[in-house]
A and B are shown apart, each in its own frame.
Chain A
């Protein structure tokens, strides 16, 4: 089999389960706990690991949230290109992600709020009026099937026999 580098493998394990203990990781990789601690803190310091968060199915939790993907067309600025407007939009806490994309529009922005009205109002009040923004199109999200590599409605899995030789 292909050998994996310690860092790469630790990231793989943590991306699957961020709550796993250092001791368990050490066992799984066949290295010392200290080494695991060192690698992880190095990755944290370098900003490779940004944060440890849960993937939450809000619908199941009964938490009403409304999310929308906003296509934003902007006029890039002379020195900073798309960066300054993208950073500006990123600072709003209502904005969950901002990505520069190729194609018909420039920025893909995910906005979250309590009601449709709140989200629509936010876009109209805070994003559309920005000087560099030429146009916005709002797509409200209706249902999430998969998020961050996790399928929400797990597929049925056949039962394995408890004993097979």
Chain B
């Protein structure tokens, strides 16, 4: 008998002790959760209604591997309108089962064994494991609160080797809520050009930008050819459970991603695609949700600061990432004690990489009442634990 029937690659992914804590958090009665990573809005009714209508009409079949033509056209129009970049609906756009699938396809399409993929930390939890599954090696770059968790071009340059294949960008960022200015992205674009790299830009939180307009990375000089742009419907349209995303990029790469997609997924569910066509007509609903998030964001940031957690002002997504350094606790200890003593769920920053240690992620995709109640409980907790 072999020692384990599980492949080495999968065994490399650590099953961390934090999972147990999350299980307790999921089940705890009376807990207020700031650990949520999805909108608290239900999908707008007009989108749900369009989906129901499509079922009544009998749209229950497969679609083209690429996704519904009308959805690809609507996406092409939307990107062009918002950022001035034109993607051809035929061949430059692929509809996927969530951004998650698109991210996996992107890596598998471009990564050769031992190619290096640069990932900024704190980072969304999937990027590093997916890199590993694709046979690549992830190279981390720490971003810092003092620099508002921005990724700097010079830091990328320091990490480039001849094996470097791609840079992953995720702004607005999960978990920090950080955003990037156009000027800083342009500097990254220069490095990408110079070293012949690919950028995988996950812009799923793009619509949730509270100051100024988000910059689409592929709109920068020369970047359309070098960018795999990922986006989806989960966050902006409150459609997490529908599992629908898309990738856009140059024909060669999208074609390669499509090769994998057709064998592992065949196509994204038609029901979700039908709903997404309607979603793209719902800008008013999105605006309504974004302005509500913005109000909650201010409540949360002010509140956290007031109870004694220093918190840089996030300008995107729906997360705050306050420092808990003055408690002297690790982020995991902090989260556990806060749950058991005051029944508030927050996510320890360490889950998002070493650079996240000393921070917690608090989502404000919860009601105003829950924000205030959670802040009260946290304030009580901090009075007991603030040692510094």
Task: For B347, give its contact among A9, A161, A165 (CB under 8 Å).
Answer: A165
B299 lies within 8 A of A28 (CB): yes
Which residues of A sit under 8 angstroms from B209, Cβ to Cβ?
1
Cβ-closest chain B residue relative to A17: B368
| Chain A residue at minimal CB-CB distance from B39 | A160
A157 touches B294 (CB 8 A): no
- Residue among A1, A24, A28, A30 having the largest count of chain B Cβ atoms under 10 Å: A1
What 1/0 mask marks residues of chain B from 288 to 326 whose CB sits below 8 Å from any chain A CB?
A: 001100111011001100000000000000000000000
Q: A1-B294, A13-B295, A29-B295 are in contact. Are A160 and B38 (CB under 8 A)?
A: yes
Q: Which of B1-55 contact A (CB under 8 A)?
A: 22, 25-26, 28, 31, 33, 35-38, 40, 42
- Tell me the bound Cα distance from A13 to B291 in angstroms: 10
Q: Report whether B291 and A162 are in contact in the complex, using a CB–CB cutoff of 8 Å.
A: no
**A163 interface residue (CB < 8 Å to B):** yes
B287 touching A163 by the CB < 8 A rule? no
Bound CA span A31–B303, Å? 14
Which chain B positions have C-beta within 8 A of A2? Answer: 287, 291
Main secondary structure of the interface of A (DSSP, over half): loop
Is there contact, CB below 8 Å, between B36 and A160?
yes
Distance to closest chain A CB from B268 (angstroms): 20
Chain A residues numbered 107-125 whose CB sits less than 8 Å from any CB in chain B? none
Q: Is the beta-carbon distance between B124 and A165 smaller than 8 angstroms?
A: yes
Whether the pair B124, A4 counts as a contact (CB closer than 8 A) is no
Complex: A27 Cα to B175 Cα, angstroms: 23
A4 is contacted by which of B28, B291, B351 (Cβ under 8 Å)? B291
* B381 interface residue (CB < 8 Å to A): no
Residue A79 interfacial (CB < 8 Å): no
Cα separation A165 to B42 with both chains bound (whole Å): 19
Q: How far is the CA of A4 from the CA of B33 in the complex (A)?
A: 29
Q: How far is the CA of A160 from the CA of B36 in the complex (A)?
A: 8
CB contacts (< 8 Å) of B31 on chain A: these are 162
**A164 is an interface residue with CB less than 8 A from chain B:** yes
Q: Are B298 and A30 in contact (CB under 8 A)?
A: yes
For the complex, what is the distance from the CA of A164 to the CA of B26, rounded to whole Å?
10
Partner of A165, one of B37, B40, B287, B290: B37
Q: Is the Cβ of B294 less than 8 Å from the Cβ of A163?
A: no
Extra 18 A-B pairs, beta carbons < 8 Å, given A1-B291, A24-B368, A160-B33: A1-B287, A1-B290, A2-B287, A4-B291, A12-B291, A24-B299, A27-B302, A27-B303, A29-B295, A30-B298, A160-B38, A161-B26, A162-B35, A163-B22, A163-B36, A164-B37, A165-B175, A165-B347
Top 5 nearest A-B pairs by Cβ distance?
A: A164-B37, A28-B295, A162-B33, A163-B35, A163-B22
**Please, could you name 28 A-B residue pairs with CB atoms under 8 Å apart, sorted by A?**
A1-B209, A1-B287, A1-B291, A2-B287, A9-B295, A13-B295, A27-B298, A27-B299, A28-B296, A28-B298, A28-B368, A29-B295, A29-B298, A30-B298, A155-B42, A158-B42, A160-B40, A161-B36, A162-B31, A162-B35, A162-B36, A163-B25, A163-B26, A163-B36, A163-B347, A165-B125, A165-B347, A165-B351
